[in-house]
Amino acid sequence: MKIDLVTDIKGDIKVEFLSEKTLKNHKQYKTLHLAGFNASQDSICFLHEKALLVCGVESSTNDDIRSSCSVAIKALKSSKYKSVSFDVQESNIQATVEGLVLGGYEFNKYKSKPKKTKLKNIYLVCNDIKKIKSRFEEAIIIADATCFTRDIVNTTPEDLNPPTFADIAKKLAKENGLKCEILGEKELSKEKMEAMLGVGRASRHESKLIHLTYKPKKKARKIISLIGKGLTYDSGGLSLKPATSMVTMKMDKAGGCAVLGMMKAISELKLDLEVHMFIGAVENMIGGDAYKPDDVLVTRSGLTVEVRNTDAEGRLVLCDVLDYAQDKVKADYMFDFATLTGACMVALGQYTTGVMGHSNRLKHSFSSAANSSGEFIGSLPFNKHLKKLLKSGIADISNVSSKPYGGAITAGLFLDRFIREENKEKWLHFDIAGSAYTETNWDCNVYGGTGAGVRFMSRFLQNIK
């Protein structure tokens, strides 16, 4: 579908948003009332004879407009209309674009006969195109980067493994003018990244560390490091997951996919920042060469880790990648993204990203960025008493807590051991285990990967000081 800004109403059908209050003054009120339309949030009613689709909204806030646009575009894609027009204002252009692009997203790669839509053109009607154009273009870039992220998350583990993940990064680098460096297992061994290598040891696919760099044409205001967990599939290793828990584990690469999507958005927005992206791309499988509970792994930093559960593998990958990133780049800020713990979903629910770290100022800034971008984040506080639960009797640290409580926080505290003192206030950890994937529609998210993190990180970096 093609989306254009126009000044005159075009299209085969027009979409209007009505609240309970504005419904009563609408010229089609009697017809809508007879049809049972009450303007409740996300309700819709076609008046085909008037070439009109009305959508219910509780308010004119961006969250309500985004959600209603998502419902509208799904209905329109199932209709026979070829074009549609929406009225937009400068204040809701981002929400409208995201609702249409993200709500209308479909992943049909594996459908033998994907459904085809007749809808080809979407017209956004405004009074002053010049005034709104830059915000429209930014919204399109961020929404497209989110869909790019979703596509990678949704790709099956047979098709997307560490080497093919690296190929996607190389392609993006070539298309968007990024510098790309890929480390294979020989190079990882030279870097003494034995924790990351241990996790991928039983896979037939070679583990990869992916490093992309974006540099602006003018002097960069800040240097940013983005780190992503890229478990292209997680069986749990020898601490094997239950069968039902293994379904959807293609999404365990969502942190890596998110930072790759962020790089796409950052380079296309042409932000005046220098941004480095690091992905630890690994597959956690079983076999005679698999790493085992009771193993002690020596990390790149030199700290030793007692393995008590091979399904707590993401932190073992990230601890080496974080250490590598800190050596490679002296960043002003470091942010890592990972589908790290089911415990985060227990704590915050399915829709919310957990954020952890030492800087309350940074956490507050991200809370504002998330609120304005339509994503949800919740802060999980570090606790010195929970830190004690990672103690190991035979190594420097255990990869899991000795008690089953506060699992998202103890995972964050594990990563914190590998953040150097000078970087503590610069770093935040984002656990996207709940928000990165959905099997039920909510807001502008449809079945599969959501692209969690791309929108709020893009907003944060646009406004960073």
By annotation, the residues acting in catalysis are 241, 315
Q: Which residues pair with 398 in a beta bridge?
A: 306
Residue with tokens 């689709």: 53
* Torsion-angle region of 357 (φ positive above 0: left; ψ -120 to 50: alpha; else: beta): left
CB 291 within 8 A of CB 237: yes
Residue 447: helix, strand or coil by DSSP?
A: coil
Ramachandran angles phi, psi of 342, nearest 5°: -65, -25
Q: Six-digit token pair at 17? A: 């948003």
**How far is residue 89's CA from residue 124's CA, in Å, rounded to a whole number?**
9
**How far is residue 229's CA from residue 432's CA, in Å, rounded to a whole number?**
10
Burial class of residue 304, CB neighbours in 10 A (0-12, 13-18, 19+): middle
**How far is residue 443's CA from residue 448's CA, in Å, rounded to a whole number?**
13
- Look at the chain and count its residues: 465
Dihedral angle sign, alpha carbons of residues 397, 352, 361, 95:
positive
Three-state SS annotation for 201-241: CCCCCCCEEEEEEECCCCCCCCEEEEEEEEEEEECCCCCCC
How would DSSP label each residue in 110-178?
T-SS-------EEEEE-S-HHHHHHHHHHHHHHHHHHHHHHHHHHS-TTT--HHHHHHHHHHHHHHHT-
Hey, what's the torsion of the CAs at 189, 190, 191, 196, to 10 degrees? 0
Q: Identify the DSSP state of 463.
A: S
Q: Identify the DSSP state of 49.
A: G
Residue 353: helix, strand or coil by DSSP?
A: strand
